[in-house]
Structure 1
Amino acid sequence: MTAFHALHVPGTPLLLPNAWEFGFAAFLAAQGFPAIGTTSLGVSAVVGLPDGAPSTRDATVALARCLRPVDALVSVDIADGFSADPGEVAALAVELAEAGAAGVNLEDGRPGGGLAEVRAQSVLIAAIKAAVPGLFVNARTDTHWLAADPPPVAAAVDRARAYADAGADGVFVPGLAEPAAVEELVAAVDLPVNLLFLPGRTTFAGLAELGVARVSLGSLPYRMALGAALDTVHAVVAGKPLPLTPPSYGDVVKLLPEA
């Protein structure tokens, strides 16, 4: 078991904040967070490209390399792998592992709201594990993500079991929040379960009580940062107090590598 895998403890979950650039990742590590994830939305927005588009592959790898000096384990969000070709997805995993990544997050959601065929997705997972056995593959299934009429939990369970058989190390079901549904998933899947924190719908403590092993923040920190920046601009224009007290210039400089 890798050090990253060992952080996934059912009932005592890993809180995985998601970063999109070096400064925030280094700030999290300085606060004692043992692991961080990246967010495909943040990475894509920084370079002005659609979320998870194949063209964001290079930016994703560049961020992983940039984060190598950060004193924390890093799991990289690779969306759908940026390719349907198992060889290309495996090559990406090798690149990320060489850049220091401890894990990847691979999703089965596809453009337009559809899902990848289970067998095809399983082949991608198996290809990654064959190429980099020690890389933690968090298999995300989008059965319940943005679903107007969510299916039974069994839909996620079936995919999670197939992905486990392919070699996945964890299963991620964003959108799942109802306690009974979470309990059903945790009981049915023999892998660490990862859920997305959903403001107003879930709490970290509540998910821990349900046996979840990892709680991700996804794009929330990035979106909160955008909101805080905009509130700061409005406060300056209106002559009001700033919405929060930021780290000082010096605090940020201390986080950066020396020349």
Structure 2
Amino acid sequence: MPAVDLAARFLALHRPGTPLLMPNAWDAGSAKVLAALGFAAVATTSSGFAATLGRHDGDVTREEALGNAADLVRAVDVPVSADLENGYADEPAAVAATVSAARELGLAGCSIEDHTGRGEDPIYDAGLARDRVEAAASASGPLVLTARCENYLHGRPELRDTLARLQAYQEAGADVLYAPGLRDLGEIRTVCAEVDRPVNVLLVRGGPTPAELADAGVARISVGGAFAWSALTGLVEAARELLTGGTGFLDRAAPTRTVIDAALG
């Protein structure tokens, strides 16, 4: 399917009150499994992909992230959205170049964050952050552009500033708005009511359930690196079991192998 059609299909899946459940895959194989299980779209995960390279989140290059996104696009027929972190650049023109490169991959969407990844106060100045989103939007073409406000992940749980930033990103051309780390239902309801774009919310441990988020007006729910960490949890548990002479992991893996074999064709 042409990328423009995939993008339109992807955006149409964002329905406030009936949110798109969008898992984050870390490689082509996990993307195939998720698509085969029935998810209507998938996204990349910067932290999950970094782990496959033996690195922490934020230690992946632009070229590596785009290569991973291209792998997912080739692997599945559903829309794919790429986590492009901060665009791998500070200046708006360089962010636009990253989004333009992503556009050539056949993606349906991408996201851009408003933090530098550096220092004790890593959030970009509000004006520069808006300019970065505007540059990304100018280069995105049919891609569904998600603009992220990172306040709540970086020690700035300030709803007023977060909402002002999201509204600015909306005006700058973002198609979807996202403030990862929001977990208070009242604040989530406020964000959904005060912006005119679909809102994505990250599932967090101890936070609202998908049903509660739907009732709050959320249009998309993602999991970040949680699925990758769940997979690695299985690895750690199986490895520890083997180190103590156990083999129960073989029995636990057998049913899953059937699902994976079917997904991989």
TM-score by length of 1: 0.90
The 5-angstrom pairing of residues 6-85 of structure 1 reads: 6-53=12-59, 55-69=60-74, 70-85=76-91
Match of 2:147 among 135, 139, 147: 139
1:105 aligns to 2:111 (yes or no): yes
Return the alpha-carbon distance in structure 1 between the equivalents of residues 66 and 29 of structure 2: 17
Q: Which has the higher helix share?
A: 2
CA distance in 2 between partners of 1:80 and 1:178 (Å): 25
Task: Give the structure 2 partner of residue 204 of structure 1.
Answer: 210
Matched, 1:241 2:252: no
Question: 1:195-244 CA deviation, whole Å, 9 max, x = no partner?
Answer: 11012222111111111111110011111111111111122334252284
What's the RMSD between the two structures over aligned residues? 2.0
Pairs within 5 Å for 1:179-190: 179-190=185-196
Report the number of matched residues: 253
Deviation at 1:86, TM superposition (A): 2.3
Whether the 8 Å contact between 2:73 and 2:106 is mirrored in structure 1 is yes
| Structure 1 unmatched runs, 5+ | none
Say whether the 8 Å CA contact 2:130–2:165 is kept in structure 1: no
Provide the C-alpha distance between the structure 2 equivalents of 1:150 and 1:93, rounded to a whole number of angstroms.
28
| Structure 1 residue corresponding to 2:157, chosen from 141, 150, 165 | 150
Kept in 2: contact 1:14–1:213 (CA 8 A): yes
Alpha-carbon separation, structure 1, partners of 2:213 and 2:20: 11
Q: 1:256: how far off?
A: 4.5
- Mapped to 1, the partners of 2:26 and 2:221 lie a distance apart of 17
The residue that corresponds to 1:175 in the other structure is 181
CA distance in 1, matches of 2:54, 2:219: 33
Shift of 1:158: 0.2
Shift of 1:253: 5.1
CA contact (8 A) 1:146 1:175 kept: no
8 Å contact 1:44–1:56 — kept in the other structure? no
Would you identify which runs of 4 or more consecutive aligned residues in structure 1 move more than 3 Å?
243-246, 250-257
Using the size of structure 2 for normalisation, the TM-score is 0.88
Q: Which runs of 5+ in 2 are unaligned?
A: 1-6
SS at match of 1:230: helix
